[in-house]
């Protein structure tokens, strides 16, 4: 195998050709891996069917299943628990999500995409509803990453569930808990099951405080800082801040801890106006997560320090305009509502951790208008300006990235898909008149809003 490191005398054209070959080879490996994953899923589904086909009943069937699981586990050097879990998952995939397995076999999606689709649609029992859900989910899966796909399919699946999200959320809220799991080498896991808005807010606040600690030591990348020997990673600092907050009430023991207690969490929740008034069960949307129940959304809205009003197209769901009853920074508000996260394909860094970038550089005549602006995280902002990657907005909000090897990747704003209300809820005329509402809320009590 030849090295991918370019020789000193290698021409740029030769380097580009070799890069193109590597990308093609990697994509081909992923397609073949997807086909193998589909074959494994079908094989394990057949294994699950063996016990049923044998005609055993009761304890005899259970013993037959245990025997088969044990043999499969030994043959593949896996645990019996893992094999048993996979058999059940694969049987369900082939029985209820067969078109997804076929798409995996063709290399159109990855196994992780298929798992995300299955988890979000597991509670859809009507065959026609599930077919409609799968058509939408597979279309989106072919053009986006599993991480971005998850909130989209969770939101869409809500349309086909028998019980409303409000009803399920009330039951789930009773299951909130904190669990302690011992690990080897003197470690343990502390797992908290909480409402999604609170969990996202806690993680955001920990991340912002940890980032302040890293920046305070002067290196910004986990180095030695000012010679104090602190080489902690951002994950390690986040864990240390978490420990200090719970044990002492403030992150005092962390380097640069002064002022960290003033940092508050940020979450972004979008609420349909009829859900806000209690006249609809349409779910609210937590940016980066997906649907949340109306009761939680209304409770958050009650404490919001400001509002964004987001007008969307009744046909496509595209964000058409944004205004606010307080503070006037209209353009930034519009971009935050439209983008939600970094606009590099697959990146989920939230907008408040991103830069607003001119797609066509302002220094070269680019205008400061929505059709020439988009949020980019620092990593991909740097990539755009310091590498051969290029980007253009072919239409407002639709970014087409071109890699150094010439491949084109389109990234569309997700609200285009998620902000389309059910046709039977409102007429087109009413929907044009009734905007969606986006409260700016701090779940931990800050008066500082992200907009």
The residue ranges of every structural domain in the chain are 12-166, 194-262, 267-441
Q: How far apart are CA 371 and CA 157, in angstroms?
A: 31
b (16+ CB within 10 A) / e for 382-420: ebbeeeeeebebeeebbbbbeeeeeeeeebbbbbbbbbb
Q: Compute the distance between CA of residue 332 and CA of residue 323 in angstroms, rounded to an integer.
A: 10
Of 311, 282, 271, the residue nearest 440 (C-alpha): 271
Locate all alpha helices (DSSP H) within 158-276, ordered by sequence.
165-173, 196-216, 234-248, 273-276
Alpha-carbon gap, residue 284 to 272, rounded angstroms? 7
In angstroms and rounded to an integer, the radius of gyration of the C-alpha atoms of the chain is 25
- Alpha-carbon distance values, 263 to 201, 206, 212, 225, 252 (Å): 11, 9, 9, 22, 13
Strands 290-292 and 436-441: unpaired
- CA-to-CA dists, residue 349 to 267, 343, 369, angstroms: 13, 9, 22
Q: Is 237 exposed, middle or buried (0-12, 13-18, 19+ CB in 10 A)?
A: buried
Residues 6+ apart with CB under 8 A from 214: 220, 221, 222, 232, 234, 237
Give, for all 451 residues of the chain, the pLDDT tens digit: 445 555 566 788 888 888 888 999 999 999 999 999 999 999 999 998 887 765 556 677 778 778 888 888 888 888 888 889 999 999 999 999 999 999 999 999 999 999 999 999 999 999 999 999 999 999 999 999 998 899 889 988 988 888 877 888 888 888 999 998 888 877 889 999 988 888 888 898 898 888 888 887 765 444 433 434 568 888 999 999 898 888 877 665 555 555 556 666 566 777 777 777 677 777 787 776 778 787 777 777 766 666 666 666 666 666 666 654 333 467 787 888 888 889 999 888 888 888 888 898 876 777 777 888 899 998 898 888 888 899 999 988 899 999 888 889 999 887 544 544 444 333 333 333 344 444 444 433 333 333 3
pTM: 0.61
């Amino acid at each position: 195998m030849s090295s991918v490191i370019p020789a000193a005398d290698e021409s740029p054209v030769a380097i580009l050709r070799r890069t193109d070959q590597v990308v093609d080879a990697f994509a081909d490996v992923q397609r073949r891996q997807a086909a193998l994953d589909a074959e494994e899923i079908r094989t394990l589904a057949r294994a699950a069917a063996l016990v049923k086909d044998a005609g055993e009943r009761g304890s005899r069937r259970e013993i037959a299943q245990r025997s088969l699981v044990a043999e499969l586990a030994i043959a593949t050097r896996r645990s019996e628990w893992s094999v048993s879990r996979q058999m059940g998952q694969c049987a369900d995939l082939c029985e209820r999500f067969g078109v997804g397995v076929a798409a995996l076999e063709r290399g159109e999606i990855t196994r992780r995409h298929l798992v995300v689709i299955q988890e979000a649609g597991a509670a859809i029992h009507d065959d026609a509803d599930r077919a409609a859900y799968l058509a939408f989910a597979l279309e989106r899966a072919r053009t986006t990453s599993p991480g971005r796909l998850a909130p989209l399919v969770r939101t869409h699946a809500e349309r086909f569930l028998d019980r409303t999200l409000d009803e399920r959320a009330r039951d789930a809220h009773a299951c909130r808990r904190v669990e302690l799991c011992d690990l080897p080498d003197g470690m343990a896991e502390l797992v908290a099951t909480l409402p999604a808005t609170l969990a996202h807010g806690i993680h955001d606040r920990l991340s912002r405080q940890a980032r302040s600690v890293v920046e305070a030591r002067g290196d910004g990348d986990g180095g030695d800082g000012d010679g104090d020997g602190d080489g902690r990673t951002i994950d390690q600092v986040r864990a240390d801040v978490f420990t200090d907050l719970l044990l002492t009430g403030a992150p005092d023991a962390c380097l640069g801890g002064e002022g960290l207690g003033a940092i508050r969490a940020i979450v972004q929740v979008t609420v349909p106006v009829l859900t806000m008034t209690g006249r609809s069960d349409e779910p609210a949307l937590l940016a980066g997560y997906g649907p949340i129940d109306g009761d939680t959304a209304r409770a958050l809205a009650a404490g919001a320090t400001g509002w964004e009003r987001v007008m969307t197209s009744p046909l496509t769901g595209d964000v058409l305009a944004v205004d606010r009853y307080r503070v006037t920074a209209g353009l930034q508000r519009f971009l935050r509502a439209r983008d939600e996260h970094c606009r590099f394909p697959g990146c989920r860094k939230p907008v408040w951790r991103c830069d607003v970038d001119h797609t066509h550089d302002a220094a070269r005549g680019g205008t400061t208008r929505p059709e020439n602006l988009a949020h980019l995280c620092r990593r991909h902002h740097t990539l755009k300006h310091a590498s051969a990657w290029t980007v253009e907005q072919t239409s407002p909000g639709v970014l087409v990235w071109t890699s150094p090897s010439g491949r084109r990747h389109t990234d569309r704003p997700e609200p285009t898909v998620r902000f389309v209300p059910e046709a039977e809820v409102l007429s087109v005329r009413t929907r044009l008149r009734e905007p969606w509402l986006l409260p700016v809320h701090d779940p931990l009590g800050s008066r500082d809003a992200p907009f």
